[in-house]
Structure 1
Amino acid sequence: MAIESLDPPAPDPTSIAPLPRISLQAFCESAELAATINEAADDRRMEKTHVKVNMGGAHAAVEAYRTSPTPNVIVLETNASRAELLGHLEALAEYCDAGTKVVVVGRHNDIPLYRELMARAVSEYLVQPIDVLDFISALSSLYNQDVAAPLGRIIAVTGCKGGVGASCVSHNLAWSIARDLDSATVIVDLDLPFGTTGLDFNQDPPQGIAEAVFSPDRLDGNLLDRLLSKCSDKLSILAAPATIERAYDLPETAFDPLLEILRGSTPHIILDVPHVWTAWSRRLLSTADETVIVASPELASLRNVKSLLDNLRGARRNDPAPRIVLNGVGMPRRPEISSADFAKAIEAEPSVVVPFDAKLFGAAANNGQMIAEVEEGARIAAIFQDLARLATGRAAIKRERKGLFDPLLAVFKG
């Protein structure tokens, strides 16, 4: 098939698979590319990659590998002519170890050169200028293009303070993804001592998350299937022990093996992250494909949301900003910060605003049901559908607001 352009579409940050544990050495001619690669090395998708940036371009690479082994990936920036570049590649080929991938970064959108480089087993040719995500996406495709199953999308939901309803939001979000979007979904309850997933779904599941975390050497796909509790054909939960018989002091990477297995088998993974600030909770919120922060319209929530946004924006520079859910708005007799003032203060618009409805939420909680199960046509159920579409990367449905007298007008029109 003919190549019409070397300009790829802008990569979707949530669709870029993490790189494996590899070594990469770059030989740059410009400070701009060196800075881009150094910034990419700090990205969550390259945390396993050992990166070293050198200056001097292709000539420096040839000299470097005369006496030392080559890494898994060599990145060469060049402003040289075609003949000079091909000469450098021929010289480099004499010293390259088997399996080393070479990525060339040039200045010209030159299709004949691209074809010639591919014929010489160059792995990729990128055209300057490239940004961080372009670079990471190109490297990721070298190692993940042959993966049969797509990676699952991890959506981490947390509350900015206790009592704002983050677990309720995460559970209804997962239920809506499974039912309304017809996508296999797993809820992972990370509140090990006090998790409510089993209660909210009226289930008596095994203590799945505890066995998965405390026996990582035994964890595989088969064990995980046994630990999951099915709520429906499309929705499963990995429940917390919900006991305080032991202390749950977990290392930063405690959940990494579990999430790696889930990514390979489940399209959507919802993490119900408790309101704690530990190394592992910070890691999960920073590395998830989507992060959702649930808040209530009052001062403590506003302060905490702003702190979380400032921290996570720094940790997720190449990812979407965390989504904000303003929950429990309109509670009678409670002084509240308006949605507009809340958004202005945190410099971010809430993705959805969930109104207060004590009767509906109370019935759902006491019956072990989701909002749409209690009242199918409820406005709040439609709000959770919109959040599900936003969090999974699908466009939200534009809904017309109904006026107070619309039902009466419909009678007269009839």
Structure 2
Amino acid sequence: MDKKINPGHGQHHGDIAPGARLLPRITIQAFCLHSQTAQMAELAVHDRRMAKVALTTHNGGIEGAIETYRANPTPNLIVIEAAQDTSSLLEDLERLADVCDAATRVIVLGQANDIQLYRELIRFGVSDYIILPSTPQALVNSITELFASDGAAPIGRTIGFVSAKGGAGGSTIAHNTAWAISQATRQNVLVVDMDLPFGTAGLNFNQDPPHGLGDAVFGGEKVDQVMLDRLMAKAAAHINLLAAPGTLDRTYDFDERAFEQIVEMCQKTMPVVVLDIPHTWNAWVQHTLSAIDEIVIVAEPDLANLRNAKNLADTIKSMRPAEAEPCLVVNKSGVPKRPEIAAAEFASSIDCRLIGQIAFDP
């Protein structure tokens, strides 16, 4: 631990700031005194900025860290939960410094809301001090301030739309939402049609591009900026399209992480990425849902949609406990002669926030 490290000024709030940046491949070890603190650190790895970070938690606080590093190499960052009595904290940090590499950084978590203690820790060389109780996002914000390079590419926000049942209208709402965002904000939006055999984004935007998402996933090459620019089609002002091939000349079986690198490159290219996710359930769909920022479940107000939406919502929440919970759009309400569940009751039953209700338009 270098005692002349410049302190990191973490933003201690729960929101991910616009233009957030991916962290590099670093190792982090957290030494905690309480299970709640360990849980907070473990939840931090679900943050999209931590995709390349290896984080482990250990018991014992600073004493556990000192004992560990007597015989083991130190990681890039050590997170220490301080005891409630901080009278010997600086002395303990001095002992920790004796067994740490000079380049290792330290973040201290503690319950004392004491500006004098904070200043002393920063003068000593601690990178940041976070007051407990805190949140996983606050911890990630602090880590990002320390390690994310100013030259790192900003992360675009990803919004995934998935239908609770075939024909519920998830694709149509995804495409219209992308259009609305582009027109309201004048930001570039990329629509990624992930329904490779049956996707309709090309039709809805009146485009028939010669290349698209199929070329990226089947090409066998690493997708870089040049390749992505070649595959994207300009659908309108501020609207770009990564279209599905929409053909049945092959089967579309993918590994769990088949789309991971493509989505990451899209995030580096566009400030907003709208993912039109097909109504299917397999490893790559689950992985995609677990990794994106916001998920919108689109459902019609009937019993089958209610069952499926409930299953989707519960599974998504369990997959991504530190991320935003899925939202709900009720589509095609008011179909004549069809028994319906009221939108508010539907949302309450699946424990999701209702963000929109769209009436049936014959």
> Is 295-304 or 313-322 further displaced after alignment?
313-322
- CA shift, 1:285, in A, is 1.7
CA distance in 2, matches of 1:6, 1:154: 24
CA distance in 1, matches of 2:351, 2:59: 40
CA distance in 2, matches of 1:43, 1:218: 24
Q: Give ranges in structure 1 of 5+ residues lacking alignment.
A: 359-414
CA distance in 2, matches of 1:67, 1:349: 50
| Equivalent AA in structure 1 for residue 196 of structure 2 | L
Whether the 8 Å contact between 2:156 and 2:266 is mirrored in structure 1 is yes
Deviations, residues 143-165 of structure 1 (Å, cap 9, x unaligned): 23635653110000011111111
Deviations, residues 1-55 of structure 1 (Å, cap 9, x unaligned): xxxx999344349986554432222222333323332343466654543333222
2:63 to 23, 34, 59: 59
Aligned residue number for residue 234 of structure 1: 238
CA RMSD for the aligned pairs? Answer: 2.6
- Residues 287 and 43 of structure 1, relative CA distance in 2, 3 Å threshold: same
Deviations, residues 260-318 of structure 1 (Å, cap 9, x unaligned): 11112211000000000011111212221110111112111111011111111212222
CA distance in 2, matches of 1:339, 1:217: 45
> Is 338-347 or 322-331 further displaced after alignment?
338-347
CA distance in 2, matches of 1:168, 1:349: 20
- CA shift, 1:82, in A, is 5.7
Deviations, residues 315-362 of structure 1 (Å, cap 9, x unaligned): 22222221111111122333333324423432435211111113xxxx
CA radius of gyration, larger in: 1
1:302 to 306, 315, 329: 306
1:157 to 155, 161, 165: 161
- CA shift, 1:106, in A, is 2.0
| Equivalent AA in structure 2 for residue 163 of structure 1 | G
- Residues 133 and 15 of structure 1, relative CA distance in 2, 3 Å threshold: farther
Aligned 1:295-334 pairs, distance under 5 A: 295-334=299-338
Whether the 8 Å contact between 1:13 and 1:133 is mirrored in structure 2 is no
> Is 263-272 or 313-322 further displaced after alignment?
313-322
- Amino-acid identity (%): 42
Aligned residue number for residue 285 of structure 2: 281
Whether the 8 Å contact between 2:187 and 2:238 is mirrored in structure 1 is yes
2:107 to 103, 109, 126: 103
Whether the 8 Å contact between 2:256 and 2:287 is mirrored in structure 1 is yes
CA distance in 2, matches of 1:318, 1:305: 20
Whether the 8 Å contact between 1:216 and 1:257 is mirrored in structure 2 is no
> Is 9-18 or 50-59 further displaced after alignment?
9-18
Aligned residue number for residue 33 of structure 2: 29
SS of 2:337's equivalent in the other structure is coil
SS of 1:211's equivalent in the other structure is helix
Q: 1 or 2 for the larger relative contact order (CA 8 Å, sep ≥6)? A: 2
Aligned residue number for residue 361 of structure 2: 357
Scaled by the length of structure 2, the TM-score of the pair is 0.89
Deviations, residues 71-98 of structure 1 (Å, cap 9, x unaligned): 1211112227666322222232233224
1:203 to 185, 192, 207: 207
Whether the 8 Å contact between 2:24 and 2:148 is mirrored in structure 1 is no
- CA shift, 1:166, in A, is 1.1
- CA shift, 1:256, in A, is 1.2
- Residues 87 and 178 of structure 1, relative CA distance in 2, 3 Å threshold: same
Aligned residue number for residue 260 of structure 2: 256
Which structure carries more helix by proportion?
1
